[in-house]
Amino acid sequence: MVQELCTLEEWRASDLVLLDVREEDECSFVLACDRVVHIPWSQQKARSHEYPSRNTAFGVLCPRSYAKAMEQIEWLTSETIHTRQLPWRLLSFYIVDSKDVQEEAIILGLTEKEKKMYPHPRLWSPNALLYSLVPIVIATKTPLDCAIVDLGCGSGRDIMYFAEEMIAKDKKMRYIGVDHNRNGRKKALDFASRRGIGDAFSFVKMDLNEPELLLNHSFGQVQCFFGCRYLNRSLFPVVQTLLPPNGIFGWMHFCMPPDGSEWRWQHPSKSADILQNRELYELFKSTFEILVDLIEYDTDHGRPMNLFIARKHDHERIDEGHN
């Protein structure tokens, strides 16, 4: 049961993020806080990838129409509406806008315009790979104007997170999302513009089932290729070729259970779409330094995933070591 809160003070005490779904013409006030993201309800279909993950507790700020607020809460939490994806079961509370809430926001100083926050507040989280991969790339000396490339970027959350965290550390690089989705380009470019990184981001529409397209594309110098929840084994030799010495490869995908048991989940349904144990290690160990090789479990269904990061050997140093 989703709880109704009557005050913003109750929300602040909860430490949870707040999704503001009011339309522009319904906003009697604007909340200026790093725990609030405004996504008008009319944009929820186009921007639902910016919503919190299904395993994140959060709250919603609804418009002053109580009936409309109830429709929105029903949409977010209904098992019958969401037949193909899980609803947001951890939606904890909602607040219905009112004159009292508006006055409270002013008293609490939540409507004051503060210094622009960067990275911008976000409700969503990247794939777990990024929490290990980004610090490694930040700590690596990189040439100017090299690129970070997300293979199979989807809506772009991972590459946006990567770019924001790097830019916050004054790492001036190019950030490229690659995907075959025909709607992906506009969605990703709009997303980058809203996040304030439009000048640093570009989108390449490419069918990654044809690895020669990746091999022949002019990315310029690439410092890092990465991908999550996507598997085409024929891409890996291409990536190994394209990365320069000290270039970084990161991947995270479903793998067979480390205890040797059978795959027991519905998706992926084909064994060819599941990594074998140590498969990436064996593929990369001769020409890359293995930095991270862990088994993590996804938060939706508890499926095992191989989190793998490797750095291409610097051949000059290897040759010196042999002499």
Q: Of 287, 286, 304, 303, which Cα lies nearest the Cα of 295? A: 304
> Residue 160 is part of a domain; what is its CATH number?
3.40.50.150
Are residue 97 and residue 151 in the same domain, yes or no?
A: no
- Overall number of domains in the chain: 2
Assess if residue 115 is contained within a domain: no
Assess if residue 117 is contained within a domain: no
Quick one: tokens of 148? 């970070």
Task: Look at 115-129, 142-156, 271-285 and tell me which has the smallest mean pLDDT.
Answer: 115-129
Q: Are 203 and 189 in contact (CB under 8 A)?
A: yes
DSSP 235: H
Q: Is the pLDDT of residue 317 over 70?
A: no
Sign of the torsion formed by the C-alpha atoms of 29, 30, 31 and 36: positive
Assess if residue 121 is contained within a domain: no
Task: Tell me which residue range forms the domain holding 208.
Answer: 129-322
pTM for this entry: 0.89
Are residue 22 and residue 71 in the same domain, yes or no?
A: yes
Beta bridge partners, 306, equal: 253, 295
Are residue 139 and residue 243 in the same domain, yes or no?
A: yes
Last residue within a domain, chosen from 107, 137, 164: 107
pLDDT at 183: 79
What radius of gyration do the chain's Cα atoms show? 22
Are residue 75 and residue 137 in the same domain, yes or no?
A: no
Q: Of 200, 206, 215, 167, which Cα lies nearest the Cα of 185? A: 206
Question: pLDDT (tens digit, 9 = 90+) per residue, 154-170?
Answer: 989 999 999 999 999 98
Question: pLDDT (tens digit, 9 = 90+) per residue, 172-224?
Answer: 899 999 999 877 888 899 999 999 999 999 999 999 999 999 999 999 999 99
Residue type, 323: N
Are residue 191 and residue 249 in the same domain, yes or no?
A: yes
Are residue 231 and residue 189 in the same domain, yes or no?
A: yes
Q: Is the pLDDT of residue 298 over 70?
A: yes
Q: Is the pLDDT of residue 113 over 70?
A: no
Assess if residue 19 is contained within a domain: yes
